Chain A
Amino acid sequence: MIFSFDLLINAIVSGILIGAFYAAVTSGITISFGILDIVNIAHPAFIILGSYVAYIVNATFGLDPIITAIIATPAFYALGAGIYQIYYVSFEKRGEESMRGLAFFFGLMFITEVTLVLYFGVDYRYVEAPYIGPTLHFASLDIPLRILVPCLVSLLLITVLQLMLTRTFIGRAIMAVAQDQLALKLMAIDPIRIKRIAFGISIASASLAGAFLIIIQPVEPSVGREYIGRVFAICVLGGMGSLPGTVIAAMLVGIVESLTSTFYGPSWAPAVSFGFLLLTLAVRPAGLLGR
C-alpha cells in the first residue's frame, strides 16, 4: 500500500477519537476489576445490553440514545448492585471467587448474549440521531460526528467519574476499599455497601458505553466478545484502577488499532489488543501508571 501522510493523520485522529470511546467502555472494568478486584468478564455483555436498551427506546419513541442511556443508568445501577450482592453472598464470602466467581460471570455473559439472540436474532441493529451521518472537514482531515459526539461525552463521563472518585466521600471510600477493607470497617463504614455502590456505578457506566457503541457502529449480540480482550488489555495497560491511565492506554490501543486497520486491513484489528495484553502481562504487569 502506498504510504500517505493524509491517511496517517486521519488514522491517528480517528484512533484518538475511538480511544476516548474505548476509555468509556473500559471505565466500568477499571472500577470493578482494577479497584474492586472483581473479574467481571460479563461487562461487555452489559454494554451490549445497554446498546439494545438504547436501540429499543430509539426505535419505538425516537429518543436520543445518549439521553436514553442517562435515563437508564439507575436501572443498570440497581442491576449491578443486585449482581454484586449475589456475588458477595455466594462467592466472596466463601472465598471461592477465583474459580466459581469467574464461572458465574461467564454464565451471566452467556445468558445475556443468548437471550438477546433469542429475542432480537443476529441481525445488526442501529439507531437514528441527527449527528449520525454528517462529517466535519478540516483540510484533509475528516471527523465523522457519529464518532466525535460519543468521544466528547465519553471524556465527560470519565471526568465525572474521576472527580467522583477523588472528591466525594463515597468515591474516596471506594478507593479506600481497594486498599484496606479492615481499616474501612474501623472507620464505621460497611465495605460491602461501598463495594455494592461501586459495582453499581461500574454497571451503570455500561449503559452509557452501550449507547456510544450503537451510535458508532451497528450492534448484534456477539459484538461484545470482541471487546473482552480490548477492555482488559486497556485496563491492565492503564495500570489497573487508574482512570487517567485508562484514558492514555485506551488512546494508545485506539491509535495502534486504527493504524493496523488502515494499513493492514480491518480484519486484523482485534489481534492488536491481544498483542497489547500479552506484551503488558509479560513485560510490565503493573501497567503504564501502575502503583
Chain B
Amino acid sequence: MTPFDQKTAPHDERLIKKLSEIALTIRRNSLIMTTKAASGHPGGSLSCADILAAIYFHQLRYDPENPNWEGRDRFILSKGHAAPAFYAALAIAGFFPTEELWKLRKLGSMLQGHPDMRKTPGVDASTGTLGQGLSIGVGMALAFRLDGKDNRVYVLLGDGELDEGQVWEAAMSAAHYKIDNLTAIVDYNRQQLSGCTEKIMNLEPIVDKWKAFGWHVIQIDGHDMKQILDALDEAEKIKGKPTVILAYTIKGKGVPMLEKLFLAGDCKYHGTPLTETELARALEELYG
C-alpha cells in the first residue's frame, strides 16, 4: 500500500466536504468512546476535530500499514487529553480497527487514557502531562534537519496548556534554532478545566506573545476547513522561523447543548463524559 501523502490536493469543495464529514465522525466517535469509557475529555476533543481531520486526511504523510515508516511526518498531541479525537482519527486513517475505540481506557486496551507511543500504532509521542509536546517536537524537527530529511512535525497544543512555562521555553528554542519544519497549532477554545482561560489565567495578548517569541502567527477560525488547510500550507512556506496557527475554536463544537454550557462558563464537560441519555441527545444535535 502506498503511504498517505495528499497534501498537494487542491483545497476544493470536494476535499472540504470530505474532511468535514470525517470531522463529524471524529466528533461522533469521541462522544461515544468517552461515554462507553465512562471517563475522558469530550469538550476539547470536539474543539480540535476539524484540525485533526485536516491534518490526518490531507496534510500529514504516513503509512498506516507501516506505522514506524521512517518517511512519515510526526504529529504530537501535546494536549493529550484530547486523545479520543486523536484515536478516532487514527482509526479512520487505518492504524487500527474502529472496534478498538470502544475499549478506550479499559484494562488491556491499546488506547490509554492519554496517548502512548508504545501501545498505540500511529502515536509518536507519549503525552498527557501538559507542556511537553512542543519541546518534543523541537527535538524531532532538529533531528530531521540534522539528517537532511524533509519530514515535518505538527504539534497540537491546548490553550490552557499555554499556562505551562515549558511551552514558552520550547517556543523560545524553536525560534532560536530557526526551526521551520514544525507547525504548532493552538486549539484556542478559551476554556480550561476549571473555567474560561480569561478568568483562570489570561493568555492575551496571545498573538503578541508568540510574535515576541519569534514565531510567524496565523489566526484562523478553527472550524473553517478551508482556513485550516490554507494555514497549514502557509506554515510550510515560512522559512527561517517557526509558525503557530492560532485556531479560534468552540469547546464542545458541533453539539449545541455542550457549546452553550461552555460558553456560559460551565466546564463540567471538559473532563466528564456524557451519560447514555445525554449522548443520545448529543448525537441527535450533532447530526441535526
Do A and B interact?
A: no
